[in-house]
Amino acid sequence: MSQNLPPDVVLKVDDLSVVYRTDRGDVKATANVSFELRNGEALALIGESGSGKTTISLALIRKLPRNAVITSGQILYQRNQEVQDVLKLSNRQLREFRWNECAMVFQGAQNAFNPVLNIRKQFEDTAQAHGWTDKAAVRKRALSLLQLVRLDPERVYDAYPHELSGCMKQRTLLALGVLLSPQIVILDEPTTALDILTQRAIIDVLNDMQRQLDFSIIFISHDLSLAAELADHVATVYAGEIIELGGVNDIFYRSLHPYTHGLLTSVPTLDHAQDLLQSIPGSPPNLITPPEGCKFHPRCAFADDICRKENPALTDDVGAHLAACWHKDRLLESRKARA
């Protein structure tokens, strides 16, 4: 292999673009996306519905719908200093890659289990499909994982899905996700549609799991609070592009992109003071005919001629904190003026 990755990088996505072919035209769902995922880190992809965050994650495990075409890019995956391009894997290699190397926990745990099989059978089937046939060993591993997600392992292992509550199913699903010790776990909206107290339980379990098992997380969410709580790095996705990427504190306290900033000022908090909120005017663009230049410019207060003509690249003027905006200095200045 010609590619070399730093030893702690498990995944490097480079210039990834995905297009959905539809009757109405090509939907540019993901455009020139690049990012790295390090060992043991949690990366949050935040964005609104239709921003392309799920498309990015489906591309990572090559589970895109049939009408999707990957038009550019590479996805480099590293284990034990061996690097492979996920986009070049054969079908057989892909089957190995999925779940063994990179597992995905989909949104809506209610529907993820087969209702006519008990949990034990679903753990065993998963293991067997990946060449692990020793049922006693599977059981041992499964029970320890169910314990880790704070369930009563013996009871849950022999239960049918309908016997478990939504929270228990979600936790069982997390345990199943890491059954084969993948290096990467992708979580799609892991707490959406769950009750507040259930969300808290899931967040606590995820924190525990990450502390005790060695894996990296990519999680997709529209919930900024969840990113604040769980992520090490945050990528803001807008109209199919990563428009800002940085450490969680960089993003939340020193955002450089007007869209990220706008999202942050439109989320109510539980502070004891009154929130002064402002929503972003307009609505996200149509991705069949996205606007020219910066895709955010029709909604942006700073937009001028260059924004309307040229799309800014994701660049790093400030350390490892990247933003795709022609006017990064504007937010910096306004922050300085306030300080």
* Site residues, other proteins (CB under 8 A): 48-49, 165, 167, 195-201, 203-204, 222-226, 228-229, 248-249, 252-253, 262-264, 266-272, 274-275, 277-281, 283-284
Beta strands 184-188; 102-105: pairing state: parallel
- Where do we find the tokens 């702690």? 8
> Considering beta carbons, is residue 176 or 300 the nearer one to other proteins?
300
> Taking the complex as a whole, how short is the minimal distance between the CB of residue 274 and other proteins, in angstroms?
5
Q: Distances in Å between the alpha carbon of 24 and those of 10, 102, 288, 289?
A: 37, 33, 8, 10
> Considering beta carbons, is residue 105 or 231 the nearer one to other proteins?
231
> Considering beta carbons, is residue 98 or 299 the nearer one to other proteins?
299
> Considering beta carbons, is residue 277 or 313 the nearer one to other proteins?
277
> Considering beta carbons, is residue 94 or 277 the nearer one to other proteins?
277
CA distance 87 to 226: 30
> Taking the complex as a whole, how short is the minimal distance between the CB of residue 224 and other proteins, in angstroms?
4
> Taking the complex as a whole, how short is the minimal distance between the CB of residue 16 and other proteins, in angstroms?
24
> Considering beta carbons, is residue 2 or 165 the nearer one to other proteins?
165
41 three-state secondary structure: coil
> Considering beta carbons, is residue 132 or 252 the nearer one to other proteins?
252
Alpha helices by DSSP H, 21-102: 53-60, 91-100
> Taking the complex as a whole, how short is the minimal distance between the CB of residue 228 and other proteins, in angstroms?
4
- The token pair that represents 44 in the structure block: 């949050």
> Taking the complex as a whole, how short is the minimal distance between the CB of residue 162 and other proteins, in angstroms?
13
> Taking the complex as a whole, how short is the minimal distance between the CB of residue 91 and other proteins, in angstroms?
37
> Taking the complex as a whole, how short is the minimal distance between the CB of residue 3 and other proteins, in angstroms?
33
Region of 30 on the Ramachandran plot (φ > 0 left; ψ -120 to 50 alpha; else beta) = beta
C-beta separation of 153 from 93 below 8 A = no
Residue type, 129: A
> Considering beta carbons, is residue 74 or 290 the nearer one to other proteins?
290
> Considering beta carbons, is residue 270 or 339 the nearer one to other proteins?
270
> Taking the complex as a whole, how short is the minimal distance between the CB of residue 7 and other proteins, in angstroms?
27
> Taking the complex as a whole, how short is the minimal distance between the CB of residue 56 and other proteins, in angstroms?
18
